Structure formats: C-alpha cells, structure tokens
Chains A and B, each alone.
Chain A
C-alpha cells in the first residue's frame, strides 16, 4: 500500500474508515478458515447478558440524571410547604384576633351599654378610623402603565425610565384631592388612612401605614358620591389624575359606587398623651369630617410637608411637583 498523502491524519482516517472493531473481521476470517459460517448467532447467552447490562447502564444513567434535578424540586416543594404552613398559621392567628375582638366588643357592650358611652365610643371610632365604615363613595383605580410593567426603574426618577409607574407622590396628591373634595374616610388597597397612617415610599415600594402595596392601586373614599366625584374631577388633583393617564399611559378610573366599605385602621393606644385642660370643650359631632386626618408626606422629596387645610395642601402640592 502506497503511503497516503494525508499520512499525518492517519488517526482520524482510521477512525472514519474503519470504525468497526478489527477483531470482528479477524474472528470472521478464522471461522471461514475453519469452514464455519463467518457470523455466529446473536442469540447466545453471552450476548443476552451483555444486552441486559447495557440496558441497565442506560437506565441507571438516565435515572441518575433525573435525580439531580429532583433534589432542586424537593427543596422547592419544601419551601412551598413552609410558605403554606406560615400562611395557615397567619390565617389562624387572624381568626383568633377576630374572635378576641368580638369578645372585646361584647364586653364593651356589657360594660358601657347602659351608660350611653358605647354610642360615644362608636362615634369616636368612626372619626378616628378605628372602625370599619360603609357608605356611598368613589373608587379611584390606578395601575402601572403597560410599558412600565416589569421595569425596575425608579418611578419618574432622573433617569427617565419607569415613567409609567405609579409613585407614592401620585397617591398622596390624589388622596389629598379626595379629602379636599369632601371624603370622610379613605383607604388605599384596604389600608385605612388614619391620623397615624402615612403614604410614603421605600425604594420602589409604596407604603401606606408601613404596609407595602401591590398594584393595581385602589383608593376608596366614602362621602357624598356624586358631589365627591364631580368636585374631585374639577380639582387640581383630578386634572393631575387625568394628566397621569394622558402623559404617562397610567390606566386610571374614577367610579361612583352606591356602597363602599373602608376597613378599620390601626390606632395605637396612647399612653403619655393627655388632653390639655381647656375652658371650652370641643365636641366632635359624629358626622363631622375627620379634619384631623392628614396624609403624611414624609420622605418625599418632590412634595412639600404642609400642615395647612386639605384644600390648600392639594394645590400647593400640585404646584410644587415638577413633572
């Protein structure tokens, strides 16, 4: 055989041209010389055993590969179990709280019922937001713009990304506008706004009463529904809401509802605050507006901290918010 041109490639050539074990040919040649058929039967016990071993090997390898991924799955399942157990525990505790609240109400009823103090307590609870209330009202709904969904940029930060996200300042302006328009009780996503509840932000999350909100944002306000809606729409806060939709694609809606409910807020017990002795005691009629309720504007650089009347606050906030 003459030396090939591609002698240096002999290894690969050998591999490509003679992939079969050379011993097959050698064994066949031997059997031919002995006068037998070149091929033996494929049904010998030896072949069967080898096939069995090969099958076992294949199954072993595939089972082994799957086992690696199932470890991750098991961890995941265990975490999900933990979450579900925690949620069940939370629900159970919530049930207990409700039951104890009921007991407290019953005890109050028994202790205060005859003296007429219960009626007064209910009035004060309504005024401070410590009691769930219901009545006609307006429901304002906001959501992040579709373009901003999934983007983690700052809401209307200096970078310009995430302009379609609802910011804490937006909610503050709208809530102040609703107070100014005559709302008597407001909650945001089920968080009642009380004297101690502030709308603020922490990073990109909007917090109301230190509880983070998830979109969509639903603001429920109780008041004279028709008048509330029209006054709000005509107010600067109303045009601000419209501008959010027009300029940033934030879906907004203002709906008049015959009956809405605001849940009770948390009013921490005051241990040190004492009322000043005053010559003329001011009584709060139950139907009066909770004028003491202010929406905190802490930690919002774009909004000024004001303590003036709600009407003035809404206007000043608007003029001082650069867009």
Chain B
C-alpha cells in the first residue's frame, strides 16, 4: 500500500513541478522507464510470491536503469544506439510480460 502511495505521489510531483530534463539525458528516458517498469513488476511478483526483499528491489531497480542507460550510451558511441535500444526493450519487455502473467495468475487464479 505504502509503495503505491509513493508511486502516486511521485507521478503527481512530476506533473506539478514539471522539471525539465536536460537534453543529454533525454535519449535515456524511454529506456529508463522500461527498466523501472520491469523492476516494479518484478517487485510486485515477489510480494505475491512471498519472497519480497526491499534491498533486492532497490538494487534491481537501480542496476536495471543504470545498465539500460549504459547500453544505450554505448550504442550511441558505437553508432548502433537504436539497435541496442531495441535489444534492451525486447529483453525487458519479455520479462515484464512474464512477470505480469505471474501476477495475473496470483490475483485472478487464471
């Protein structure tokens, strides 16, 4: 419950404060969002599985975002940024779908 409130507060803060993202950070934003979503769904599934661990959740979130951003950065430097971004999106996308499927099984028993 408390993390959900934190999420909502974060969204409201972002919409109200309207902070401007520096231009050099903008290419990493979409990938960071997908990495964050992956960490969140992983955390929710862990709660439902009864194996949630706050430290693991935070570390997985941070490492996901940092590694995804690093891959995009590396790809940009090598000139294959869009291909590597696609790779990151595919891998994280598969994980998100599998985790959401597991959450669905827990919640709806289907």
**A residues bordering B, Cβ < 8 Å?**
12, 15-16, 19-21, 23-25, 27-28, 31, 38-44, 46-61, 63-64
How far is A27 from B14 in the complex, measured between Cα atoms in Å? 33
How far is A30 from B58 in the complex, measured between Cα atoms in Å? 18
How far is A57 from B47 in the complex, measured between Cα atoms in Å? 22
Across the interface, A38 reaches (CB within 8 A) one of B8, B50, B99, namely: B50
How far is A171 from B38 in the complex, measured between Cα atoms in Å? 69
Cβ–Cβ contact B15 & A63, under 8 A: yes
Cβ–Cβ contact A47 & B54, under 8 A: yes
How far is A146 from B30 in the complex, measured between Cα atoms in Å? 48
Query: Given contacts A43-B2, A50-B61, is CB(A57)–CB(B53) below 8 Å?
Result: no
B13 at the interface (CB under 8 A from A): yes
Question: Closest CB-CB distance, B69 to chain A, in whole Å?
Answer: 12
Cβ–Cβ contact B11 & A56, under 8 A: yes
Question: Closest CB-CB distance, B94 to chain A, in whole Å?
Answer: 5
State which residues 7-36 of B face A: CB under 8 Å. 7-15, 18-19, 21, 26, 29-30, 32-33, 36
B89 at the interface (CB under 8 A from A): no
Cβ–Cβ < 8 Å partners of B94 in chain A? 12, 15-16, 19
Interface contact tally, CB-CB below 8 A: 155
Cβ–Cβ < 8 Å partners of B46 in chain A? 20-21, 24, 39
How far is A25 from B42 in the complex, measured between Cα atoms in Å? 12
How far is A42 from B48 in the complex, measured between Cα atoms in Å? 11
Cβ–Cβ contact B55 & A55, under 8 A: no
Question: Closest CB-CB distance, A166 to chain B, in whole Å?
Answer: 51
Cβ–Cβ contact B13 & A50, under 8 A: no
Cβ–Cβ < 8 Å partners of B42 in chain A? 19-21, 24
Cβ–Cβ contact A58 & B18, under 8 A: no
Cβ–Cβ contact B51 & A63, under 8 A: no
Chain A residue at minimal CB-CB distance from B33? A61
Cβ–Cβ contact B3 & A47, under 8 A: yes
Residues 39-78 of chain B, each 1 if its beta carbon lies under 8 Å from chain A, else 0:
1101101110111111111111100000000000000000
B79 at the interface (CB under 8 A from A): no
Cβ–Cβ < 8 Å partners of A60 in chain B? 14, 19, 21, 29
How far is A59 from B29 in the complex, measured between Cα atoms in Å? 11
Cβ–Cβ < 8 Å partners of A46 in chain B? 54-55, 57-58
